[in-house]
Structure 1
Amino acid sequence: MDLSPVTLTGRLVRLEPLSLDHHDGLVEGTQDGQMWDRWYTSAPAADGVAPMIEQRLAMRDAGTMVPFVAVRLRDNAVLGMTSFYDIRHDVPRLSIGYTWNRESAHGSGTNPESKLLLMTHAFDVLGCAAVRYETSWSNQQSRTAIERLGARLDGVLRADKVERNGALRDTVVYSVLAHEWPSVKANLEHRLRHR
């Protein structure tokens, strides 16, 4: 899989490769709805944005993550972040996650379009056999959004990780397989056309 940085553009949102230039927009995004205060998300507080960018860029350089920033097309506002991670060249497969968006963008269609752009790239360009999504059992909003994408439940990993607040996290794992992609894609395109 060629995981070179790429910009993916839809009707509502543009996914750009993460850079240090996105710092101020990401800080603003975390403050819209205090996204950092939700212990089950990966959104940092304002003072954690720079270290998070540096960490994700280091992971990009190590080949373990491809981080993107979501930018709303109508006003170029930075909405949040998402990433390819858990990259397995042997299968090939990857996961989409570490996603958060400013609260005012929730329900606007930008997140489903972001996922459509990412999965189209993963399946149609990179040739993935599977795309995975993981979320906390406690994050019902994320679980519902993943299920609405058309991903299927693979299972729950009990006591899988430690959350930022110290609680043990049960991780819910979903996936879309390559043979399921055409119908998942058609459903997402239909949803976005009828917004």
Structure 2
Amino acid sequence: MDPNYPPKPITLSGDLVQLVPLRLEHTEALAEAVRDGELWKLWFTNISPPQEMQGWIEKALEEQKLGLSLPFAVLRKSDEKILGSTRFMNIEKEARRVEIGSTWYSKSVQKTLINTECKLLLLRHAFEVLDCIAVEFRTHFFNTQSRRAIERLGAKMDGILRNHRISKNGTLRDTAVYSIINSEWPTVRSHLKFKLGLE
């Protein structure tokens, strides 16, 4: 039995942020975070509105119990403010693959080094602790901001899944799929650390 699977709740800590295990106690803080930018109104995302945040967390924790995902709240270390959420999902033990997804941040911290450090922490855990052979990222074809952010990490596009999902507004979603494979991790790690001024 592999002790790393399913991945256990853990706190991942950097200079700017801590990724802490998601808990029901984060409900109000995440509701406040999602109000910053009214993120649930973006038609190409699937972010819950403030009044549905508790149910969203409960569903994430149920998936964690089943070994399907490992959700985190993103906490800024300087003031301990909750900025958003992210998770490991679509965990494949035999293939040693995970997806980093369900990621969102308050609008005021988007396009900052917060996402860069979050991804460094998650990717380091995936490749250096979970021994993943690949880490995947998926986003709506029309979510150009998310696609550019994924590409800035150094991920490469695998392709487009056509008519992959039905969006909350009833439209059909094409999903852009990216990945970083284990042989690329040393280069990607150096790239992210350089962006963060760590080397």
When normalised by structure 1's length, the TM-score is: 0.97
Partners in 1 of 2:86 and 2:66 — Cα distance? 17
- 2:186 is the counterpart of 1:182: yes
Query: What CA distance in whole angstroms lies between the structure 2 residues aligned with 1:76 and 1:37?
Result: 26
User: The residue matched to 1:193 in structure 2 has which SS?
Assistant: coil
- Return the alpha-carbon distance in structure 2 between the equivalents of residues 129 and 143 of structure 1: 22
Asked whether the 8 Å contact 1:88–1:94 carries over to 2, the reply is: yes
Q: What is residue 122 of structure 1 aligned with on the other side?
A: 126
Q: Which residue of structure 1 lines up, in the alignment, with residue 74 of structure 2?
A: 70
Q: Among residues 145, 149, 162, which one is paired with 1:158 in the alignment?
A: 162
CA RMSD of aligned residues (A): 0.9
In the other structure, the counterpart of 2:111 is: 107
CA distances 1:36-65 after superposition (whole Å, capped 9, x unpaired) = 111222321011101100000000001101
Q: Is the 8 A contact 1:16 1:70 kept in 2?
A: yes
Name the aligned partner's letter for residue 112 of structure 2. S
Instruction: Give the drift of 1:118.
Output: 0.2
The runs of at least 4 consecutive aligned structure 1 residues that moved more than 6 Å come to none
After superposition, where does 1:71-90 map in structure 2 within 5 Å? Answer: 71-90=75-94
How far does the alpha carbon of each residue in 1:16-75 deviate from its partner, in whole angstroms, 9 at most, with x for none? 000001011100001001011112223210111011000000000011010000011111
State the SS of the aligned residue for 2:196. Answer: helix
Q: How many residues align?
A: 194
Q: Percent identity?
A: 42
Corresponding letter in the other structure for 1:50: Q
Q: How far, CA to CA, are the matches of 1:42 and 1:14 in structure 2?
A: 24
Quick one: which amino acid aligns to residue 99 of structure 2?
Answer: S
